């Protein structure tokens, strides 16, 4: 595909959604970066998520999807202020993953002068995944542009050394050294969660059988786990309510990871560390994390009850085998 500035185009990506959705869009963003190493790539989305891609060198700048004025992009036949019109017209390519079934955003962006717009009224980049794996779905508009997307074992997020050192620093503050296994017992829905009691048992097995140091990672949505863990695993440190960049820094220097179907699990997979992802009622064929060092454990049936029945010893064996075979890239 030829763009006006074919060596160093100005590209804009529009992406809302949750953390897992954003991570599953990274293969498309990486393909654009590899095809145009000198491109200026901007992303309008949730800054806390988008800064992950900035840190890894995939995008250059971030704008907030919640900024005042963004709602006006969805107004039919919008009259653009001159400054905004000039801004939009500076982009050689706009790739939108926003829900825009009626194509209003696409029409408005073209009217403002964006040179090429691929927007979500097309099934290829709709945020609703109709079939296949979500990462392939979000990658399709990029491959349709004629950009090659070779299979690569390189992590989606190559985490910079200074930020990895910060991760080690935060672990040391918790009294932990390098031999750390990160455990995330939460997700966006309790029905997707392996019981917190099982995570506590796994933490005990990690200490006893692997001679490793477990740490629990908890966010604002993990209140139930936060309440239960002091009773179930009082000696295990907790990294709570950190920014995504801080969580990524800790994950990047972890020896391994276990978590549910969650955005943090997708983040761990994108960083390339050995992970075991636990799936119950959701479809791993569509939403499972991807990576060279990923194992997905499913219940016997796609139910919360079958998920809960997975034994900690089974998880431990899978994790131990993954770590034994793991060859760090940096």
Selection from 21, 55, 20 nearest residue 184 by Cα: 20
The answer to whether the beta carbons of residues 62 and 50 sit under 8 Å apart is yes
Distance from chain centroid for Cα 107:
29
Residue 128 burial (10 A CB sphere; 0-12, 13-18, 19+): exposed
Residue ranges of the chain assigned to CATH 3.40.50.2000: 10-144, 161-325
What are the percentages of helix, strand and coil residues in the chain, rounded to 5?
A: 45, 15, 40
Per-residue pLDDT at 1: 52
Full DSSP string of 125-162: G-SS--SS-HHHHHHHHHHHTT-------S-SS---HH
CATH class of 161-325: alpha beta
The answer to whether the beta carbons of residues 61 and 54 sit under 8 Å apart is yes
Cα separation, 205 vs 202, in Å, equals: 5
Per-residue pLDDT at 3: 65
CB-based burial, 113-124: b 16+ in 10 Å, e otherwise: ebbbbbbbbeee
Q: Does the structure show a pLDDT above 70 at 93?
A: yes
Per-residue pLDDT at 131: 67
Q: Does the structure show a pLDDT above 70 at 121?
A: no
| C-alpha triplet 145, 57, 142: angle, nearest 5° | 10
The answer to whether the beta carbons of residues 251 and 244 sit under 8 Å apart is no
Looking at every residue in the chain, the average pLDDT score rounds to 91
Number of H helices, E strands in the chain: 13, 11
The answer to whether the beta carbons of residues 319 and 274 sit under 8 Å apart is yes
Fold of the domain built from segment(s) 10-144: Rossmann fold (3.40.50)
Cα separation, 193 vs 45, in Å, equals: 27
* Residue 196 tokens, joined: 């917190």
Per-residue pLDDT at 177: 83
Cα separation, 118 vs 287, in Å, equals: 23
pLDDT in tens, 180-207: 999 999 998 999 999 999 999 999 999 9
Q: Does the structure show a pLDDT above 90 at 128?
A: no
CB atoms within 10 A of CB 137: 22
Residues whose CB falls within 8 Å of the CB of residue 197, separated by 6 or more in sequence, listed in order: 228, 232
Selection from 32, 52, 14, 51 nearest residue 270 by Cα: 52
Which residue shows structure tokens 């953390």?
A: 19
């Amino acid at each position: 595909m030829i763009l006006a500035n074919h060596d160093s185009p100005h590209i804009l990506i529009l992406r809302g959604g949750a953390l897992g959705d954003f991570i599953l869009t990274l293969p498309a963003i990486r393909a654009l970066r590899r095809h145009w190493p000198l491109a200026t790539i901007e992303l309008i989305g949730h800054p806390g998520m988008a800064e992950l891609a900035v840190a890894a060198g995939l995008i250059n700048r971030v704008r907030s999807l919640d900024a005042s004025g963004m709602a006006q992009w969805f107004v039919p036949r919008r009259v653009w202020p001159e400054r905004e019109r000039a801004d939009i017209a500076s982009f050689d390519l706009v790739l939108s993953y926003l829900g825009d079934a009626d194509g209003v955003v696409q029409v408005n962006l073209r009217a403002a002068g964006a040179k090429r717009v691929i927007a979500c009224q097309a099934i290829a980049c709709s945020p609703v995944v109709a079939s296949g794996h979500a990462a392939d779905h979000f990658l399709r508009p990029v491959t349709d542009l004629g950009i090659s997307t070779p299979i690569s074992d390189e992590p989606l997020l190559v985490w910079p050394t200074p930020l990895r050192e910060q991760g080690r620093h935060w672990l040391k503050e918790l009294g932990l050294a390098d031999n750390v296994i990160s455990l995330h017992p939460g997700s966006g829905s309790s029905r997707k969660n392996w019981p917190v009691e099982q995570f506590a048992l796994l933490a005990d097995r990690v200490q006893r059988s692997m001679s490793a140091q477990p740490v629990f990672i908890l966010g604002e949505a993990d209140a139930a786990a936060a309440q239960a863990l002091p009773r179930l695993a009082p000696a295990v440190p907790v990294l709570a309510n950190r920014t995504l960049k801080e969580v990524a820094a800790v994950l990047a220097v972890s020896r391994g990871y276990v978590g549910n179907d969650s955005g943090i699990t997708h983040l761990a997979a994108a960083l390339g560390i050995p992970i075991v992802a636990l799936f119950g009622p959701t479809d791993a064929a569509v939403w499972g994390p991807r990576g060279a060092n990923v194992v997905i454990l499913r219940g016997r049936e796609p139910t919360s009850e079958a998920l809960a029945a997975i034994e900690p010893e089974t998880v431990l064996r899978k994790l131990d085998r993954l770590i034994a075979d793991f060859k760090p890239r940096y």
